[in-house]
Structure 1
């Protein structure tokens, strides 16, 4: 056994070998040479070779026989095992069973341990994340203090203190506490690596995206120009501690930080260097020792999200778990609230978005007044969020007076006023008031053409919205008369590959289906899907929607197996790209269940729909229109299976709830799939033009 914590200890160990083998001139080198000359099998263990500055290679035997084991948290030492005869095995976290046994051994618990004792040991092992050193020292503490049933409470209330206690007695000669061990590493880290760990300690310990740090560097100057202030200054100070050039991203500088932390086993590199994981106990140790101010981390995250869009969904999904740990509302900074609002909207977390948009509106009313254009903009945003949450009456109460206010303050022809008109029309449609919507949208289109021009993107969107209202009223040919020339105009103005043009193609295809022209729809949708994959990518949310639309067309044509071939992999992809709780993913679960029913696979549908209803209640709420749809669809499946009483138990309270939430005249059953249709809207303001949609389980349309 070679004690390898330092060069002097290694030399002392080899010197002992020289003395024990009676070398004529005992030195550490003579001890090493003696070992190299021994041809029989031998085993040499370099223990605790953790110091990255240690040059262990010069102490390795230079021979082709014998066996060497290196115990180290320094991942760089793996290079010493490479070569023709070299092999290595990385030891991952200890398994749960082994962790429980280790803890019981050091706690002095023999075979007479009760079932309750073992259950408590399992809880402690889980709380310590099966970390061997922590388990050993917890076991020793439990044995000394006889506190098996009090240890968890002490750990939760005084974690830093108990994890910092050095072991007074130990089965081996390692007496440093968990935190003391890491503190030795911390003291050897460069300042930049320490700052990196401090930032990570305020986030979730898994899937910390490298891209986040690059985006902060890339965006900081822009954010500082638009939103200067103390918090942005603190983010700049933080970047200067991290990087030598805080204004220009440098991969090599970042690699140096990560390599140093990796060499101390304080970080794991995942996904080919795209994300980082920190052991939960390491994460807690940094949090206990050096706290960053949460408002600075909120600002750091907000800078990384500057101008984030639906085209960056992989980054959105990576970031959302970290943002959940920071309460943006505790930091009264508008640019932070706007950034978090965009993130929650893109990730489908409309409840969190609602909290922030309410705060934005209240702050704007307080600081700038109710008549300020920015306040009106936030009011429009809040109405849109109410719509996404299915709270149509709340949206209506806000939007009707907001439109009047916008006309008074901005004027009837101001672009933002036109947006308010459109938003109100959308809410009317959500409430089944299609004629009221039509009374707004027909003059709105003419006004939009006069004010913005016939080729303006917003005007094109309003043509589409009017066409959708015609379809709500059963005027499919009137809708078609708008949509066919609209597609040509969109191709001329925006280009054939523009995302909005692709949307017009999809909407026209849906109208063809409304008219029973399924083959005409298919002729548009099959090449549209290929074009969407080329232009936007296979994992873009709009591409996923088009896969679903094509599958629905296959079902219209009775090609259920073709639809199934699209929908099963689509659901998996939607879970990966958008997340399992995103509203669009929930819709796709329902659509797949409907296809199973089309194929007579009622039990397969039931396996999807029962957990889907619970998930929809959790994510969207029990009164959201989509949740009501899930209840109805589940009741239909019960009836398909002959479980009529189960269906009745759902449908009787559902009818009352539907009348309360949607009103008595909103329940329009889709002809084929027996699910309630809802439609589409836009919300825009002077800062951005944000398209949003509610997806019908039948048509899956988007505009």
Structure 2
């Protein structure tokens, strides 16, 4: 049947703000938040250095300052009130770092008490800030009161004076022989590196799982290959790479184990120098490498945190054919160095055990169930699980964690536990922030844009196609798309051609930190769900980026060819749902494009919601009679019709037709389109005579105005033929469909999609006429051509297979039908998902074929599933839901469960009478089915009453010769005879003697 044209927009798009999209912490110099970014970077650097110090109080205070700064990041308003406090705290730990780096243990001892006191004080400040955020009063007023009442400025100043005083003493004591001090009091990194020689820290006390990777590593290192053994553990930050390496080392036996922090070149050189010093072979990195190259013992070099893609790690590897090296990195590129394992999410059982161990909870059945739900929400990421367990251990509330997590995710994934089972200093979110801060502005913007899409199924094609955008009559002009076009321009040549290499440079930059991954087979990008959520949390102002991504997606949709829209819709719908397709004021409007995707994927409630919004906006900004308003009304009407709201659709379409006729005249293309859409709704309402009258009129006008061969004329001809079929006038339908096929073959060729649809429609009429061999020949031809032209998995090909399967069923070749239907069901489920309406249709057909074979239990299982999914997707009153309910009722009858069948059939009949009216074919079919069940149960009078009504209606609507009318007569006669009545009645007069 004809439908409305591609959705269009009559409303003028609203302007957007221009300018380059910038990410947090890399803003222009005059940004109010500039002071926070360098403070965080300084604190992170010092905290990382403090990890190597043998003085726990130094590590404690620097880590506390970092937590303070990260807490301030979460303050959305009036952050500047905390600026002095943050800067002062950062200055203190900077002074501490400088002095202890220069003077080692002697200086550190001087600051011991001060560090402990300051750490305790800052913890109280952090708690106070968090409490202020949790309260409802304005933050600015509370912060000022807090600052004033606590005398923070004076106290901070006091700490600074104490440090500076101690610093002066230290400087005096050490300036005489500074060179000697530096040699005898080595830096933090040197102390830690020497300490770790042959003494790697053990893995976490709660280490869990990862057995497959450990087994692979043991097998690799135990094999004598005659070459140097290099194993790379790579993956997302927080996935547990270092812990796996430490666990492997604990389980192994090496002559020497050297742990080197590989995060920076300076740290690598320091670590290697320490090896040389400890082995008394020199005092340089080169000395250490030379010693390793000359040592044939079973040594292991553990290069941890090799995350910086700018560092050429090969410069720091011993050049020899022996020895063992483990590398941990976020950069997948390092896989090229040797054997490797991707370290990603944990197995569910291991993740659940890890959570309960960290939470100090017993593995009781109830706890296991709660823990399983939590680790699912955390997507089985080890660091997130450990943080969650730490919080639960502190709160002692396993049951209440998920509710807190849903409303406070960013805070919970940023909070560092006071007690730890290992020395990992970063939280989930902060470990990714470190990587994010290394990205270029363009790469960072791309990652943030992707946070508004679904975390899977992101394609380069979305962006490349959008770059070729040309406005349609309804879509925004380029002047209103400055930001998305400016972003896309980074990947477009001056000639306008898309440059995939530039796009690859950006995605590779992000992949180097495992913040995004790429499937070589699918050609699609994906983001870990928690990284996806974290990326959104890095935004200070979401609207410009959301608007930009929404526009890019809308621009992409406008360029999708019509014959590719079904598959494209399935791929795009998760992104559109996440964007929520409701654009705020001031954002360019592509909702009509989003409507088309929702409509094509059967997300009819979403499609209807969008259509209503578009119509409301058109009515607000444009005149009621504007062409765009009428088109919006038409789109809403066809959506209502697809939803089963036929009466609402009819009311809208009558109004559209009236306005188009008045404004444009009865011969205008838009008027005829409106007429065809109204006829389609009459068709769905079962009012075939009304549909026929309009379709005859449309066909005549198209023929007169456009000629016999125009595509609109042929479309009108096909619609009328379908109505003839519903009226039982199969010969008339056949005549029109043969004509349509001949013209399409002549005009378009026998391989054109429209020609193949015409061939498929004619095959259906041959089946209606009982000419199944003719139908099969056409359907085999259609299938062969679609397979060659579109491929085995294209929706059009699968439809052809399904049609051929129905013909096999009609011929009684049920086993052949089942084989084809099982194949189609598998492919549609994989391609479109198990909830797509096309998938449910073939599932229903397969159930029917099982019934024909007498396999009623299999049919029942499928029909229960179909009914459940239709109810959830379309609602209890949708015609497709009621059809599924009726099919299940018939199967209950086949199984002898007549009471269940009767209950369902009574419900179906009641709903269809209310929804479709008493004259609709589906209502009459439900009535006939219930009559059969009454007859079977012995309720002959109930059956008789229904059968009399069915026969009267079918005679009135379809005539005496329609197959459905003849079937109704036969059923009625059978009931009369069961009641002992002989002969004919006025209702059965004219019935064939053979049937009587």
TM-score w.r.t. the length of structure 1 is 0.89
After TM superposition, the structure 1 stretch with the greater mean CA deviation from structure 2, 408-417 or 418-427, is 418-427
Partner of 1:188: 438
The separation in 2 between residues aligned to 1:578 and 1:265, in whole angstroms, is: 29
Cα displacement (A) at 1:396: 1.7
Equivalent residue for 2:534, pick from 285, 293, 297 = 285
Partner of 1:63: 320
Partner of 1:682: none
Whose Rg is larger? Answer: 2
TM-score w.r.t. the length of structure 2 is 0.63
Equivalent residue for 1:300, pick from 543, 547, 552 = 552
Query: Are the counterparts in 2 of residues 192 and 243 from structure 1 also a CA contact under 8 Å?
Result: no
Partner of 1:319: 572
The separation in 2 between residues aligned to 1:216 and 1:129, in whole angstroms, is: 32
The separation in 2 between residues aligned to 1:473 and 1:167, in whole angstroms, is: 74
After TM superposition, the structure 1 stretch with the greater mean CA deviation from structure 2, 284-293 or 612-621, is 284-293
| Alignment of structure 1 residues 593-632 onto 2, 5 Å | 593-632=847-886
Query: Are the counterparts in 2 of residues 373 and 410 from structure 1 also a CA contact under 8 Å?
Result: no
The separation in 2 between residues aligned to 1:365 and 1:617, in whole angstroms, is: 33
Query: Residue 302 of structure 2: SS of its match in structure 1?
Result: strand
Query: Are the counterparts in 2 of residues 167 and 176 from structure 1 also a CA contact under 8 Å?
Result: no
Cα displacement (A) at 1:342: 1.2
The separation in 1 between residues aligned to 2:695 and 2:358, in whole angstroms, is: 75
Instruction: Give 5+ residue unaligned stretches, structure 2.
Output: 1-258, 931-996
Partner of 2:740: 486
The separation in 1 between residues aligned to 2:522 and 2:753, in whole angstroms, is: 31
The separation in 2 between residues aligned to 1:583 and 1:228, in whole angstroms, is: 35
1:467 matches 2:724: no
Query: Are the counterparts in 2 of residues 93 and 130 from structure 1 also a CA contact under 8 Å?
Result: yes
After TM superposition, the structure 1 stretch with the greater mean CA deviation from structure 2, 12-21 or 644-653, is 12-21
Q: 1:250 to 1:65 in 2, by over 3 A?
A: same
Equivalent residue for 1:49, pick from 286, 306, 309 = 306
1:566 matches 2:816: no
Cα displacement (A) at 1:609: 0.7
After TM superposition, the structure 1 stretch with the greater mean CA deviation from structure 2, 221-230 or 308-317, is 221-230
The separation in 2 between residues aligned to 1:130 and 1:389, in whole angstroms, is: 39
Query: Residue 272 of structure 1: SS of its match in structure 2?
Result: coil
1:367 matches 2:625: no
Cα displacement (A) at 1:146: 5.5
Partner of 2:794: 540
Equivalent residue for 2:329, pick from 72, 93, 96 = 72
Cα displacement (A) at 1:119: 4.6
Q: 1:147-202 CA distances to partner (integer Å, 9 max, x unpaired)? A: 65665455433333333344555443321222222222112111111011101111
Query: Are the counterparts in 1 of residues 640 and 649 from structure 2 also a CA contact under 8 Å?
Result: yes
| Alignment of structure 1 residues 304-703 onto 2, 5 Å | 304-308=556-560, 309-331=562-584, 335-667=589-921
Query: Are the counterparts in 2 of residues 169 and 175 from structure 1 also a CA contact under 8 Å?
Result: no
Query: Are the counterparts in 1 of residues 649 and 681 from structure 2 also a CA contact under 8 Å?
Result: yes
The separation in 2 between residues aligned to 1:118 and 1:469, in whole angstroms, is: 59
Cα displacement (A) at 1:288: 0.8
Cα displacement (A) at 1:327: 2.4
Q: 1:42 to 1:481 in 2, by over 3 A?
A: same
Greater relative contact order: 1 or 2 (C-alpha under 8 angstroms, separation 6 or more)?
2
The separation in 2 between residues aligned to 1:349 and 1:123, in whole angstroms, is: 28
Cα displacement (A) at 1:381: 2.4
1:272 matches 2:521: yes
The separation in 1 between residues aligned to 2:492 and 2:834, in whole angstroms, is: 36
Cα displacement (A) at 1:618: 1.2
Query: Residue 558 of structure 2: SS of its match in structure 1?
Result: coil
Q: 1:57-97 CA distances to partner (integer Å, 9 max, x unpaired)? A: 1211222222211111111111111xxxxx22222312223
After TM superposition, the structure 1 stretch with the greater mean CA deviation from structure 2, 316-325 or 241-250, is 241-250
Query: Are the counterparts in 2 of residues 467 and 482 from structure 1 also a CA contact under 8 Å?
Result: yes
Cα displacement (A) at 1:520: 1.3
Query: Are the counterparts in 2 of residues 231 and 295 from structure 1 also a CA contact under 8 Å?
Result: no
Q: 1:18 to 1:495 in 2, by over 3 A?
A: same
The separation in 1 between residues aligned to 2:404 and 2:656, in whole angstroms, is: 55
Cα displacement (A) at 1:632: 0.7
Partner of 2:297: 40
The separation in 1 between residues aligned to 2:807 and 2:372, in whole angstroms, is: 53
The separation in 1 between residues aligned to 2:700 and 2:373, in whole angstroms, is: 68
The separation in 2 between residues aligned to 1:540 and 1:670, in whole angstroms, is: 33
- CA RMSD in angstroms, aligned pairs only: 2.6
Query: Are the counterparts in 2 of residues 628 and 658 from structure 1 also a CA contact under 8 Å?
Result: yes
1:158 matches 2:408: yes
For these two proteins, the number of residue pairs brought into alignment is: 665
Cα displacement (A) at 1:142: 4.6
Query: Residue 480 of structure 1: SS of its match in structure 2?
Result: helix
Instruction: Give 5+ residue unaligned stretches, structure 1.
Output: 82-86, 676-703
After TM superposition, the structure 1 stretch with the greater mean CA deviation from structure 2, 118-127 or 392-401, is 118-127
Q: 1:643 to 1:352 in 2, by over 3 A?
A: same
Cα displacement (A) at 1:610: 0.4
Query: Residue 648 of structure 1: SS of its match in structure 2?
Result: helix
Cα displacement (A) at 1:485: 2.4
Q: 1:383 to 1:166 in 2, by over 3 A?
A: closer
Query: Are the counterparts in 1 of residues 583 and 589 from structure 2 also a CA contact under 8 Å?
Result: no
Q: 1:327-371 CA distances to partner (integer Å, 9 max, x unpaired)? A: 223345685111101111221222221122222223323333222
Query: Residue 324 of structure 1: SS of its match in structure 2?
Result: helix
Partner of 1:97: 349
Partner of 1:216: 466
Cα displacement (A) at 1:445: 1.7
